[in-house]
Amino acid sequence: MSVLLAFCSLYYELAFGQVLSVCLGGTKNQYFLTIGIFTCFLGFGSLFQKRFRNRYGLKKTFLTVELLLTILGSMGPFVITWILSSGGNLMGGFGTILAYTLIASVGFLSGFEIPCLFSMAPDNHGKVLAFDYLGMLLATVAFPFLILPHLGTGAGTLLVAGANAFVLLWIRSPDASLLEKTFTRPILVFVFASIIFFRSQINEGLSLLYLKDLM
Amino acid sequence: MAYSMILVGILTEYTGEEILSQCLVMGPYLLSLGLSSAFGDRILPHERLRAVWNFEWLSVIVLPLVPLALTLSIFIYTNLADTDAGLSTLSGNRVLFVISGGFAFITGLFGGAQLPLILKDLGEASEEKILSLNYLGPLLASVSIVQMNTHAFSLALQIYIIGIIQLFGLLLLLLVSNRPKKVQALTLLFIPLLLLFFTGFILPRLEHLTIKSAYLKTRTSISQLLRPTHLLNLLGRYGSVERVRTPYQTIDLFIEPPAPEYSAPGNASVYLNRKPQFDLFSVAVYHESMVFGGINLLQRKPDSVLILGAGDGLLLKELKRIEGIQKITMIELDPQMLQWSATNPVVSGLNEGSLSNLAPNVDLKIGDAITFLRSNSKKYDLVFVDFPFPDGHDLSKLYSHEFYRLLRQAIGADSVVLIDLPLYIDKKGKLSMESQVILKTMKHAGLGDPLLFGPSASFVALRGTGAKPQFEYDQFPESLKLATYLNFASPFREDEVNESEWAEIPVNSMFWPRGL
C-alpha cells in the first residue's frame, strides 16, 4: 500500500509539473516550483494530520484523504489546463495562484499518508518508509519512460487516480458489504481498461480544453 | 534539494531533456534521502550532536564538488565516446543519466540523516516546529533556484550562493550547540570555504573546455586522458567559445581560426543549447531559401509577414531586400538573444544591423509565440517559423498539433507558411521517424499537404488552402546564389510511406509528447 500511495503522490506532482510547463512555459522552473510547493505542503500535511485524526479517527481521516486525493489528482491536470488557458490566463495571475493552490492541496493531503500508515502498522515504520521511497523511485522512472509516452498526461493521471481509488477500496474492504465487494473490483477493472482504450480521446480532451478559446 | 536541482540544470543543458533529467535525478535523490534518514535513526543518543555536525560539515565539503564532478564526468565521457555516441544521441544520453543518477544518490545521502537526529535530540515538544521548518526548505530552494535561473546566474555563482548559505547554517549550528572546543571547530569551516572557492574557480574553466571539446569533437583514449597535457593544449589554443546564458537558453558562438596546414578556411558557428543553428557556410543559403522560397510560393509580394523566432536577425536582413512589404511582425521569446545578435560583431555583421537599426515596417514583439498566437486575430500573407529543432520538452511543444492549430488561425486561404524543419533521411533512404512524426502532426492539425524541400537547408512549405505548394522555378530572382537555387530541389519522398506505416506514426501533443 505504501508503494502505491507514494507512487500516486509523486506521479501527481510530476503530471502537474508537466501541465504547468505546457500552460506557462519554462519546463525546468515549473518542475522546481511544483516540487518545492508539493514538498512544503507535504510537511504541513504531516504536521496537521494529528488534529484531524484526533477529531475524526484514523480510518475515517485516511479514507477521506484518499477519496479527496483521487478526485483532486484525477481532475488536477484538466482543471489546471482549463484555468490557465482561459482568456490567456483566467483572472490574470490569480489563475496561476489557483493552479499552485491545487498542487499545495494534493501535497497537504499526501502528507497525511505516512503518519496514518505508521499508526496502522506501528511496528513496521522501517518497512513503510522503505516502500514509500521505493514507490517514489518507481514513479520517477515510470512517468517519463512508461506513462507519458504510452498514455499521455490525461489518461496517465486518470489511471494513477484509479490506483488511488484501488487503495481506497482496499482500506474499506473489511467494512464493505458483499454486494460492494462483488461489484467494485470488476468496475475498477472496467475503468482501467476504458482509460487505456480511450487514451487518445482523453488526451485530445485535454488539448481541446487548452484550445477552447479558438473553438 | 538545491544541489539536486543544480544537477538537473546541468543534465538538462547537456541532454536537452528537461523531464527525463528531472525524473532521473529526483528518483535516486529521494531514495538515498530515505536510506540516509534510516541510517540517522540508528545513531546512538550520545553521538547525535557530533553526528549532525559531522554530516553537515561533510555535506558542505562534498556537495559543491558534486556539480564539478558531474561536469568532469561529462568532459571525460565526451572525449572517450565514439563519434556516433555523442551527447545528442539516445545512447549518449543514457550514459549521462546513469552517471547523474549516481551523483544525485550521493547528494541525497548527505541530506537525509540530519532530520531524524535533530528530531530525536530536541524531543517531541519541538517536533512540529522542526518539521515545518524542514519542509519549508525545499520551497525556499526551488524559489531560489528558479530566481537564479530567471536571472541567468552562472553555475559557479549558484554554487557559491548555496554553499555560503550552507556554511552559515553550519556556523549557526556551532553557535547554538553546547559543543566543546568551538574555536577549533570554527577553524574547520575554512576547509569547505576554500573548497567552495576552488569549485567556483575550476568549474567555469571546466565547463568551457567541455563545450569546446564537444564542438571540436575531440576524441582520446583513457591513457591520454590520464596525461591530458596534449588535449588541454589543443583545447586551450584552438578556437574560442563565447557563451551567453539567458533565462531561456545558452547561446554559444564558436570561432575556429583558419588552419592552412589542414586546408581549413576557418568558421564561426552559432549554437543554441548546444545545438547548431548556422555557420558562415550555411547562413546565406538557409535564409535566402526561406525568404525567396516563401515569396515564390506566394506568387506575389506579401503585404504582411509574421516571423516566429529568428532572434538572430538574419531573416529580417533578407526581408529588407524585398520592397513593398507593409508590415513585418516578429515574435521572439528571448530579449537577450536579440540584444546579443544586435551587438555581437560577428552576428551583427551577418545580419547587417537589421536588429540595431529596425526598419520602419518592422514590429518587433518580445514574447512567447504560443501566447502571441493564442491572442492573435490577424491573418498574415507569409508566415516564417524559425525555431530550434525539438530537443527536449520545451521545444517539442512548438512542434505539437496544438501549436499547429494555433498557427492555422494566423493564415488566410491564400497565405503561405514556411517552417524550418531539419528533414533527416534514414539508412533506407526514407524520411526519419522524427520528421514523419512532425509531418503527421501537421496533417492532424489540418495544415494540408506539405512541400518538403532543401537538400542542404530543409524546410516545409504549406498553403492556406491545404493544397500542396509548388515552386515557379522561372520566377526566382537572378541575384540568388547557385547554392540557394539548388536548395529548392525536393529529394524527399514522403509519399513512399505506405498507409499501414503512416497509421503507426504518432501525433505529437503538448500533453502527450511522442516520437521526438
- Top pLDDT among A94 and B270 is at B270
Whether residues A36 and B139 touch (CB distance < 8 A) is answered with yes
Phi then psi for residue B325, to 5 deg, are: -75, 125
Instruction: Give the distance from residue A152's alpha carbon to the nearest chain B alpha carbon, in angstroms.
Output: 4
Could you tell me which of B392, B514, B309 has the C-alpha nearest to residue A26? B392
Q: Does A208 contact B at CB distance below 8 Å? A: no
Residues of B in contact with A148 (CB under 8 A): 19, 512-513
Alpha-carbon Rg for chain A in angstroms: 17
Which among A14, A81, A130 has the least Cβ separation from residue B23? A14
Number of H helices, E strands in chain B: 22, 11
Show residues of chain A in contact with B397, CB under 8 Å.
22
**Per-residue tens of pLDDT for chain B, all 516 residues:** 889 989 998 888 887 777 788 888 888 888 888 787 777 767 777 777 777 788 888 888 899 999 999 999 988 888 887 644 344 555 557 788 888 899 999 988 887 777 777 766 666 666 667 767 777 788 888 888 888 887 878 888 999 999 998 888 888 888 877 766 777 777 778 888 888 888 889 898 888 888 888 888 777 778 877 787 878 887 877 888 888 888 888 899 998 888 777 677 788 999 888 888 888 888 888 999 999 999 999 988 899 999 998 899 999 999 988 888 999 999 998 899 999 999 999 999 999 999 988 888 999 999 888 888 988 889 999 999 998 877 777 788 899 999 999 999 999 988 999 999 878 777 777 788 888 899 999 999 988 889 998 888 889 999 988 888 989 988 888 888 888 888 888 777 666 666 777 888 899 999 998 877
Distance in angstroms (rounded) separating the CA atoms of residues A142 and B45: 39
Start-end of H helices in A57-151: 58-84, 93-110, 113-120, 125-142, 148-150
- Determine the distance from the C-alpha atom of residue B298 to the mean position of all C-alpha atoms in its chain, rounded to a whole number: 34
Question: In Å, how far is B34's CA from the nearest CA of chain A?
Answer: 6
Out of A44, A88, A134, whose CB is closest to B135? A44
Q: Under a CB-based contact definition with an 8 Å cutoff, are residues B433 and B472 in contact?
A: no
Higher pLDDT, A170 or B203: B203
Touching A: B residues 10-39, CB under 8 Å: 12, 18-20, 22-24, 26-28, 30-31, 33-35, 37-38
C-alpha cell at B514: 511522442
Three-class DSSP labels, B87-155? CCCHHHHHHHHHHHHHHHHHHHHCCCCHHHHHHHHHCHHHHHHHHHHHHHHHHHHHHHHHHHHHCCCCH
B contact test, residue of A11, A31, A202 with most B CBs within 10 A: A31
| Cα distance between residue A196 and residue A167, in whole Å | 19
More confident residue, A123 or A15: A15
CA distance B18 to chain A (A): 6
Among B128, B130, B40, smallest CA distance to A129 is for B40
Contacts 24+ apart (CB under 8 A), B175-184: B177/B49, B177/B53, B179/B49, B179/B50, B179/B53
How far, in whole angstroms, is CA B112 from its chain's centroid?
31
Nearest CA in chain B to A126: B38
Q: Looking at the partner chain, which of A32, A44, A134 has a beta carbon nearest the beta carbon of B132?
A: A44
C-alpha distances in angstroms, B453 versus B291, B302, B382? Answer: 13, 21, 17
pTM of the predicted model over 0.90: no
What confidence tens digit (pLDDT) does each residue in A9-47 have? 889 988 998 898 888 877 777 888 888 888 888 888 887
Q: Which of B38, B141, B149 lies closest to A36 in CB terms? A: B141
**Most B-contacting residue of A3, A10, A22 (CB-CB within 10 A), to test interface:** A22
* Closest residue, chain B, to A145 (C-alpha): B20
Grade residue A113 by pLDDT with cuts at 50, 70 and 90.
Answer: confident
Contact between B240 and B255 under an 8 Å Cβ cutoff? The reply is yes
Which residue of chain A has the CA closest to B12?
Answer: A28
Nearest CA in chain B to A199: B512
B104 and B23 Cβ atoms separated by less than 8 Å: no
Determine whether the interchain pair A140/B30 forms a contact, defined as Cβ–Cβ distance below 8 Å.
yes
Please report residues of B whose CB lies closer than 8 A to that of A153.
511-512
**Which residues between 48 and 77 in chain B have a beta carbon less than 8 angstroms from any beta carbon of chain A?**
none
Surface of B (396-415) touching A: CB under 8 A:
397, 401-402, 405-406, 409
> Quick check: B24 and A203 CB within 8 A?
no
The residues in A 125-154 lying below 8 A from B, measured between CB atoms, are 126, 129-130, 132-134, 136-137, 139-141, 143-144, 148-149, 151-154
Asked if the Cβ–Cβ distance from A28 to B9 is below 8 Å, we say yes
Three cell numbers written together for A172: 474499506
Measured distance CA(A147)–CA(A164) in Å, rounded:
16
Helix axes B114-122, B48-62, angle to 10 degrees: 150
Mutate to test the interface with B, among A9, A134, A137 (most CBs of B within 10 A): A137
The grid coordinates of residue A82 equal 482549463
Residues 41-100 (A) with a CB less than 8 A from some CB of B: 41-44, 46-47, 77, 81, 85, 88
| Per-residue pLDDT at B371 | 84
The minimum CA-CA distance between A211 and chain B, rounded to whole Å, is 7
pLDDT in tens, A44-57: 888 788 888 888 88
pLDDT for the residue numbered B86: 43
- State how far the Cα of B281 lies from the Cα of A33, in Å rounded to an integer: 42
N-term to C-term CA, chain B: 30
Give me the residue from B135, B401, B402 closest to A42, CB to CB: B135
pLDDT reported for residue A126: 66
CB contact under 8 A, A141 and B393: no
Is B26:A39 a contact under the CB 8 Å cutoff? no
| CA angle at B5 for the pair B4 and B7, rounded to the nearest 5° | 65
**Strand residues in B231-303 grouped as ranges (E):** 240-245, 250-256, 267-272, 275-279
Measured distance CA(A75)–CA(A28) in Å, rounded: 23
Q: Which of A23, A32, A35 to mutate to test the interface with B (most CBs of B within 10 A)?
A: A32
ipTM: 0.87
Q: In this complex, which of A143, A154, A210 lies closest to B402 when CB atoms are compared?
A: A210
Confidence at residue B103, expressed as pLDDT on a 0 to 100 scale:
92
Nearest CA in chain B to A48: B128
pLDDT of residue B85: 39
Nearest to B306 by CA among B412, B395, B454: B412
User: Distance from B419 to chain A by nearest Cα, in Å?
Assistant: 21
**Contact (CB<8Å) B510/A210:** yes
